[in-house]
Amino acid sequence: MTEAPDMNVRVEIAREASQELVDAFARLLPQLSSTAKPLDHEAVERMLTHDANTVLLARTQAGIVGTLALAMLPLPSGLRARVEDVVVDTAARGQGVAGLLIEEALRIAHEAGARTVDLTSRPDRGPANRLYERLGFRARESTVYRLPLEGRNAGPTPS
C-alpha cells in the first residue's frame, strides 16, 4: 500500500466488489471514456478475481478518487505488465493521485518479476502523458491495432 500523508491519499489493492467500488466505477469511468459502459457488481467481481488483474484504488476521507488496473501476463517472452484505465476524479486531479497509483503498480509489477510495463494514452491527454514521461515511460515506435469484437460473428472471417 502506498500512502501520501500530506495529501491524505492512500493507494490500496481492491479486494472486494463492494457497492462503494461499483459506484466509484460508475462515477469515474465516464471521466475516462465517453464509450465506457457501466460495470455492475458481477463485472467488478469478475475483474477483481481474475488472476491476471490487480485493481488499485486511491482513497481519501471522501472515498475513492481514482482507480488503475494492472494486468500481468506470463508470455513466452517473459512476464509482461500493462497499466490500463487510469482515472482520477476531476476534483482530485493535479494532486499527485495518478502518480501514486502508477508508482504502486510499478512496485507490484517489479516485485512480481515483470520485464516491462506498458501503457497507452491518447495524444490529447497532455497532463497524463507528461506524468508518464516524468515517471520514466518512453513512447515506443509501434503500431497498435484494435479490432472491435462487439457485433462480430464468432465464425471465421470471410476471405
pLDDT range class, residue 122, cuts 50, 70, 90: confident
- Give 17-71 pLDDT, tens digit per residue: 999 999 999 999 999 988 888 899 999 999 999 999 999 999 999 999 999 999 9
Total domain count, the chain: 1
Looking up cell 469515474 gives 28
Q: Does residue 150 lie in a domain region?
A: no
User: Is the distance from CB of 55 to CB of 47 less than 8 angstroms?
Assistant: yes
pLDDT range class, residue 88, cuts 50, 70, 90: very high
Q: Does residue 75 lie in a domain region?
A: yes
Q: Does residue 99 lie in a domain region?
A: yes
Q: Which residues of 104-122 are buried (b: 16+ CB within 10 A; e: fewer)?
A: bbbebbeeeebeebebeee
Domain that holds residue 123: 2-134
User: Is the distance from CB of 133 to CB of 99 less than 8 angstroms?
Assistant: no
Q: Give the pLDDT score at 5.
A: 45
| Window from 6-10, 82-86, 152-156 with minimum mean pLDDT | 152-156
Q: Does residue 101 lie in a domain region?
A: yes
pLDDT range class, residue 156, cuts 50, 70, 90: low
pLDDT range class, residue 77, cuts 50, 70, 90: very high
Q: Does residue 142 lie in a domain region?
A: no
Torsion (CA) 97, 100, 138, 119 in degrees, nearest 10: -80
User: Is the distance from CB of 78 to CB of 112 less than 8 angstroms?
Assistant: no
Q: Does the pLDDT value for residue 7 go beyond 80?
A: no
Q: Does the pLDDT value for residue 108 go beyond 80?
A: yes
93: CATH: 3.40.630.30
Residue 1 in 3-state DSSP? coil
* Nearest residue to 55 (alpha-carbon basis) of 93, 33, 24, 94: 24
Q: Does residue 159 lie in a domain region?
A: no
